[in-house]
Amino acid sequence: MRPDTIFAPATGVGGVVGIVRLSGPRALVAAALLADGPPLQPRRASLRRLRAPSYGGGDGGHLDDALLLYFAAPASETGEDMLEIQHHASPAVQAGLLEALASLPGLRPAEPGEFTRRAFMNGRLDLTAAEGLADLIAASSLAQARQALRQMDGALGRLYAGWRERLLGALARVEAEIDFAAEDAVPDGLWSVVRPDLQALRREISSHLADGGKGERLRTGIQVAVTGAPNVGKSSLVNRLAGREVAIVTPLPGTTRDVIEVALDLDGLPVTLLDTAGLREGTDPVERIGVERAKARAEAADLRLLLVDDPAGLPSSVDGDTLLVLSKADAQPPDALAVLPPTVLALSTLTDRGTDRLLRHLAGRARRLLAPGEVALTRPRHRAALTEAQAALDGALSPVACELALKAEDLRAAATAIGRITGAVGVEDVLDRIFADFCIGK
């Protein structure tokens, strides 16, 4: 870790109050050089007049009257000395303050995610908590925010750290058996003591992996593809659910050529609607490309709405991830609507018939797919590491007789794989990728 002191705005442009944060050994020195008055006391707010440095081209002029908060290491967010400057949120004031800080020796602007990276390096949080912070910043729904907060609070980190500790405990016993056993074959000693817990741990990891990707899906939101033939009302439905005109609606077939994405918040759950091109064998090469894209996106979507505007054209069956929708219900004969199967939803965007039922259905399906509230696996790198740990555990628990030393190596590999998730071991190769997703000031 470089010994320099970093600074960056912690708030965006606009508002009433702006915040600039500093972290590093010269944070308190910077306060003394910029602010009038006695030395700052830890965790006590102090209103001070800020002045530009009178050297290096500075004129010593009044910058702002700001509230200063000092947090002494190691009891700070980053584990280093930190300074928070709460100033009037004028772009000119902030620009002047940042320019003044840049002129001070030993200070430099922070890189994206550097505050959080320093917190990790100083043991203030693990990698899963850091990823939770990134998810919280990016959250667009209440369910996403709550999952991120659970991860920030250490729910995932504690789970994985507990698994690793059990592996390390078993490894210590096995290595003790190796050191003191006279024979090479696995004895009916300490291994028989640790094996039941390792079998239970293997089941726990397997159950965690078999979650259907709920946590990962909650991070990105579920995708619902609106499909059907041209002019069955797909774009009208998307516009109605979005509450605004996001798709062009005309009587001409083939109006929608590309996939249009619309983000929705359904009862706090993230959903992305996909308005797709009408499915038909067209002669226009551009429309054919749109149809191929529509098929591909619909196939990859979590749910599909298949719109049909003629009861006679309803398919006899669809897969479990597809909901049949009879569109333009306002134009359908009443007797045709009366005999619709319960699995078909009659809908009209003109009269709003069926809209509330559709939204309830989508919210219910989203809730089952996302399972908000669970401590869920949230990242592909977590899944890869746990899969590796599971395979190593399988090797250690294999009924095929093998030397105890080989079982120890399998346990060590499993513990190392899980340790990479939290950052306990071997994470230098992933740090840059993880913290590159952060904004400057975090």
Mean pLDDT of 196-212: 94
Q: How many domains does the chain have?
A: 3
SS3 content of the chain, % helix, strand, coil (to 5): 45, 15, 40
pLDDT level of residue 367 (50, 70, 90 thresholds) = confident
Same domain, 243 and 358: yes
Query: Which CATH number is 137's domain given?
Result: 1.20.120.430
pLDDT at 234: 85
pTM score: 0.78
**Residue 160 included in any domain:** yes
Beta strands in 243-301 (DSSP E): 260-266, 269-275
Mean pLDDT of 205-227: 90
Same domain, 231 and 142: no
pLDDT at 341: 87
pLDDT at 244: 77
pLDDT value at 74 more than 50: yes
Please give the Cα distance from 94 to 291 (Å, whole number).
Answer: 50
pLDDT, tens digit, 9 for 90 and up, residues 391-439: 999 999 988 767 888 999 999 999 999 999 999 887 666 676 677 667 7
Q: Is the peptide bond before 342 cis (omega within 30 degrees of 0)?
A: no
pLDDT level of residue 96 (50, 70, 90 thresholds) = very high
Which stretch of 31-45, 76-90, 114-128, 318-332 has the lowest confidence by average pLDDT?
Answer: 318-332
- What DSSP state is assigned to residue 113? T
pLDDT, tens digit, 9 for 90 and up, residues 178-200: 776 655 544 557 788 899 999 99
* DSSP states along 305-349: EEEESSGGG--S---TTEEEEE--GGGS-HHHHHT--TTEEE--T
SS3 (DSSP) at 420: helix
Domain ranges, residue 206: 130-211+381-435
**Residue 375 included in any domain:** no
Burial 9-38 (b: 16+ CB within 10 A, else e): bbbeeeeeebbbbbbbebbbbbbebbbeee
pLDDT at 186: 45
Structure tokens at 13: 């442009």
Same domain, 364 and 223: yes
Please give the Cα distance from 335 to 298 (Å, whole number).
Answer: 32
The residue among 367 and 287 whose pLDDT is bigger is 367
